[in-house]
Amino acid sequence: MGHAHGTPVLWEQARNEARELGRRCAGVSPSAVPLAEARGAVLAERVTADIGVPSYDSSAMDGYAVSGSGPWRVTARALAGAPLPVARLSSGEAVEIATGARVPEGTTAVLPYELAHHDGHGIVGDITPGRHVRRAGEDVPAGAAVLPEGTRVTPAVVGLAASLGRDTLLVRRPRVAVVTTGDEIVHSGIPGNGTVRDALGPMLPGIVTWSGAVVAGERHVADSFSAVSGMLAEAASDAGTDVVVVCGASSAGAADHLRGALRDVDATMLVDGVACRPGHPQILARMGTEQEPGAVVVGLPGNPNAALAGAVTLLVPLLAALAGRSDPSCAPPESLPLAGEVRPHHRDTRLVAVRERGSWVEPVGHDRPGSLRGAALADALAALPPDWAGSGVPLVWLPR
Ligand SMILES: Nc1nc2c(c(=O)[nH]1)N[C@H]1C(S)=C(S)[C@@H](COP(=O)(O)OP(=O)(O)OC[C@H]3O[C@@H](n4cnc5c(N)ncnc54)[C@H](O)[C@@H]3O)O[C@H]1N2
Ligand code: MOO
């Protein structure tokens, strides 16, 4: 016997519920993560410079570090990363120097090769005192506050943190456990007769990191009530999990146990069914109590393209709000005209895989619930309302 669905909520409302829930749960604790993993997350600290940049007085040009006025006698060659060949220059002396090499004490300026000439006595050329010498701390003084808490960790942020000698950053990054279900699912190789290769375990980490979160565990559970409710009970008592994504087991069939298992752990059901196609059997629930809230559970349909639709409907808005950043699927333009043959659903929002063509979008096709063929070529999902009259369509961007 199956389990009845709840009353579906409107697609826009489902996204808002997920976003609101993310804002209400202030419980994601900061963690120090290696720079390479921090990208996309949001800083949970103010970054201050432990060292200045540059950290030593160095040359900004390839040429000659000179002291006093010319002509200068070249005494040695200074390269970046090599010990200083002379600690101090006296007036009339120079060292040939590479960009980034430490300048000796007593350096008046650096004279670039292209401005230097040899006369019979040495090197000559016009200099301005201090020119082409990068002083320690000139770009970032030691102790300066460089990034406020709440800054999104972009590639440039990672690079800056490394320049400042940091190996980790403190970020607020929701931890997501991904659970696949289904006795027919296999996780590697060519699926044998009657089995299906797991498409969601490999797909979800990219969506999760795009939203500023991280997959902190992946597992598969059997199609049984005890396996699904046991998994939820474990997740409920694990303080290291903020969100549990359960793939499959969300519909009405005999093997679809998520609803019953959520009831079994006294979870609060927030969304039970969304009025969109594909992706209508989605679930948003919260474990724990009002006083001691537990992990949020997102149930996604097993059909891979329906799961993608569900992920951008509930999971991405939830995770972005939990992480304290903007929703990457809502980037501008928020809508564009759609050119091509599409048919709205008579009652629900239809999510159509579309390709961006500059100032308009066109359907990719091949976007039935069971396959990601269309989505793999798409830039966005167009959210076609039931009463669509052939004008602009709201867009939900996909990670590209
Ligand atoms: N009587 C009804 N039956 C169904 C309804 C309904 O409203 N009433 N909804 C249909 C829709 S729409 C969808 S979508 C599916 C959702 O099903 P479940 O979420 O319960 O998922 P399963 O039944 O376990 O699997 C469905 C389908 O997806 C394949 N699958 C599952 N997991 C994966 C995975 N990790 N990677 C790749 N493919 C996966 C699975 O083999 C099935 O083919 O329910 C309809 N039925
Ligand atoms: O809505 Mo199902 O999620 O169409 O495939």
Lining residues, ligand 2, CB within 6 Å: 277-281, 301, 303, 306, 369
- Residue 374 vs residues 76, 144, 192, 362, 381: alpha-carbon distances, Å: 64, 49, 24, 12, 10
Regarding whether 373 and 356 lie in a shared domain, the answer is yes
What was the pLDDT predicted at 158? 97
Q: pTM for this one?
A: 0.88
Please tell me the least confidently modeled range out of 27-36, 38-47, 103-112, 301-310. Answer: 27-36
Ligand at shortest distance from the CA of 274:
2
Regarding whether 314 and 179 lie in a shared domain, the answer is yes
Site to probe by mutation for ligand 1, drawn from 219, 247, 272, 303 as the one with most ligand atoms within 8 Å of Cβ, is: 303
Regarding whether 288 and 226 lie in a shared domain, the answer is yes
Regarding whether 350 and 304 lie in a shared domain, the answer is no
Please tell me the least confidently modeled range out of 2-6, 119-123, 296-300. Answer: 2-6
Can you tell me the ipTM of this complex?
Answer: 0.97
pLDDT digits (tens, 9 = 90+) for 319-367: 999 999 999 999 999 999 999 989 999 999 999 999 999 999 999 999 9
pLDDT over 90 for what percent of the chain? Answer: 84
Does residue 391 or residue 136 have the better pLDDT? 136
Is 150 within a domain? no
Contact 25, 285 (CB under 8 A): no
Is 2 within a domain? no
Residues 279, 12: Cα–Cα separation, whole Å: 13
Is 167 within a domain? no
pLDDT digits (tens, 9 = 90+) for 52-110: 999 999 999 999 999 999 899 999 998 998 888 899 999 999 999 999 999 999 999 99
Residues 212, 150: Cα–Cα separation, whole Å: 12
CA dihedral 376, 377, 383, 384 (to 10 degrees): -120
Type of residue numbered 392: G
pLDDT at 120 over 90: no
Residue owning the nearest CA to atom 24 of ligand 1: 248
Strand 293-300 relative to strand 283-288, pairing: antiparallel
Contact 361, 380 (CB under 8 A): yes
Residue owning the nearest CA to atom 31 of ligand 1: 302
Ligand at shortest distance from the CA of 201:
1
Is 33 within a domain? no
What was the pLDDT predicted at 263? 93
When pLDDT is averaged across residues 300-304 and rounded to a whole number, the result is 96
CA of 64 relative to ligand 2 center, distance in Å? 70
CATH of the domain at 101: 2.170.190.11
CATH of the domain at 340: 2.40.340
Residues 43, 31: Cα–Cα separation, whole Å: 10
What was the pLDDT predicted at 4? 57
What was the pLDDT predicted at 376? 98
What was the pLDDT predicted at 1? 43
The domain boundary, picked from 275, 294, 328, lies at 328
Contacts 24+ apart (CB under 8 A), 78-87: 78/102, 78/103, 78/104
CA of 179 relative to ligand 1 center, distance in Å? 15
Number of domains comprising the chain? 3
The domain boundary, picked from 81, 116, 134, lies at 134
Residue owning the nearest CA to atom 3 of ligand 2: 279
Which atom of ligand 2 is found nearest the CA of 306? 3
pLDDT at 302 over 80: yes
Regarding whether 361 and 286 lie in a shared domain, the answer is no
Contact 27, 286 (CB under 8 A): no
What was the pLDDT predicted at 26? 67
Strand 168-172 relative to strand 42-43, pairing: antiparallel
Is 205 within a domain? yes
Residues 320, 312: Cα–Cα separation, whole Å: 11
pLDDT at 49 over 70: yes
Regarding whether 370 and 317 lie in a shared domain, the answer is no
Regarding whether 321 and 179 lie in a shared domain, the answer is yes
pLDDT at 261 over 50: yes
Ligand at shortest distance from the CA of 367:
2
Regarding whether 256 and 227 lie in a shared domain, the answer is yes
Regarding whether 363 and 322 lie in a shared domain, the answer is no
Is 64 within a domain? yes
CA of 315 relative to ligand 2 center, distance in Å? 16
Is 52 within a domain? no
CA of 301 relative to ligand 1 center, distance in Å? 5
Which atom of ligand 2 is found nearest the CA of 282? 3
Which atom of ligand 1 is found nearest the CA of 306? 14
DSSP 35: H
What was the pLDDT predicted at 236? 81
- Residue 60 vs residues 65, 102, 129, 161, 165: alpha-carbon distances, Å: 10, 10, 14, 22, 21
CA of 256 relative to ligand 1 center, distance in Å? 9
What was the pLDDT predicted at 159? 97
CA dihedral 364, 370, 376, 380 (to 10 degrees): 60
DSSP 99-151: TTPBPPBT--EEEEGGG-EEETTEEE----TTTTEE-TTSSB-TT-EEE-TT-
DSSP 239: T
Mean pLDDT of the chain: 93
Regarding whether 313 and 239 lie in a shared domain, the answer is yes
The domain boundary, picked from 269, 302, 328, lies at 328
Contact 338, 354 (CB under 8 A): yes
Ordered alpha helix ranges (H), 195-247 = 200-210, 225-236
- Candidates 131, 127, 216; CA nearest to 176 is 216
Q: How many CB atoms lie within 10 A of CB 387?
A: 7
Domain that holds residue 281: 9-28+174-328
